[in-house]
């Protein structure tokens, strides 16, 4: 059979490159650290009512990982909105659970601890919502003209760590002092920690008030601007 002398036609269509495999945000390293924080916090809550040593160790590790997940997000370029929300929600839930226990352990001061829970949740929720409303990429991005206090608080990682750590240490110290084996001696280390961290904890609550007020003002300004545009 005679062979065909017709030239072979080459396809001019471009070769399709393999599409990159979609990333799984839920398996990013900082988010995995966030899940471990939740597990540690849950375990600490299990021991909270009857084993202060286990509870304190587990709770402390959960809080320490809060600094590690932020470092991992920057190190591996895995900063995500989901991770930021996961981090904030975990912080709010763990602190609220500890304050709930303190409310029952110190019934005379229950209204104070309940107020701190409300302030913590309200200020952070309003701040997050106001940040999204302004179009900010992160709730930690606060301009100086809006609030010098919040700008310094969120832009300096060392200051943020000290305030958050001292805040949790004070509440943990108060938790330990609710047990007779720690409260019987005035010079026990939980007393020392409580006295040393109280001023910073109080300052942290003041920052929460500032954060809530600034968020309210920001939301009101956004409402006024939207109403002007609609007229």
Helices (H), the chain: 29-47, 52-75, 81-105, 110-134, 148-155, 157-176, 180-183, 189-230
Mean per-residue pLDDT pooled into runs of 10, the chain (231 residues): 53 60 92 97 97 97 92 92 93 97 97 98 95 84 91 94 96 96 84 96 98 96 92 82
Phi, psi dihedrals of residue 64, rounded to the nearest 5°: -65, -35
Under 8 Å between Cβ of 88 and 129: no
Could you give the domains of the chain? 25-225 (1.20.120)
CB–CB of 113/103 below 8 Å?
A: yes
Which of 66, 69, 87, 91 does the annotation list as catalytic?
A: 91
Q: What's the pLDDT score for residue 132?
A: 87
Cα 194 from Cα 201, distance rounded (Å)? 10
Block residue for tokens 């701190």: 116
- Residues 48-75 have pLDDT tens digits of 999 999 999 999 999 999 989 989 998 9
Is 66 one of the annotated active-site residues of the chain? no
């Amino acid at each position: 059979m005679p062979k065909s002398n017709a030239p072979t036609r080459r396809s001019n269509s471009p070769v399709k490159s393999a599409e990159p495999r979609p990333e799984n945000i839920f398996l990013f390293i900082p988010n995995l650290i966030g899940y471990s924080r939740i597990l540690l916090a849950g375990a600490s809550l299990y021991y909270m009512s009857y084993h202060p040593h286990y509870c304190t160790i587990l709770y402390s590790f959960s809080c320490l990982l809060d600094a590690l997940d932020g470092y991992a997000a920057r190190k591996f370029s895995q900063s995500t909105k989901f991770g930021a929300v996961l981090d904030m929600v975990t912080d709010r839930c763990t602190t609220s659970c500890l304050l709930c226990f303190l409310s029952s352990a110190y019934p005379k001061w229950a209204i104070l601890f309940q107020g701190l829970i409300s302030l913590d949740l309200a200020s952070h929720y309003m701040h997050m919502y106001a940040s999204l409303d302004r179009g900010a990429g992160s709730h930690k991005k606060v301009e100086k003209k809006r609030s010098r206090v919040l700008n310094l608080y969120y832009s300096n990682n060392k200051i943020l760590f000290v305030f958050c750590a001292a805040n949790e240490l004070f509440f943990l110290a108060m938790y330990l002092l609710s047990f007779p084996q720690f409260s019987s001696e005035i010079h026990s280390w939980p007393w020392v920690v409580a006295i040393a961290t109280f001023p910073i904890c109080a300052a942290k609550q003041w920052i929460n008030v500032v954060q809530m007020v600034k968020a309210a003002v920001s939301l009101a300004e956004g409402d006024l601007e939207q109403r002007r545009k609609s007229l």
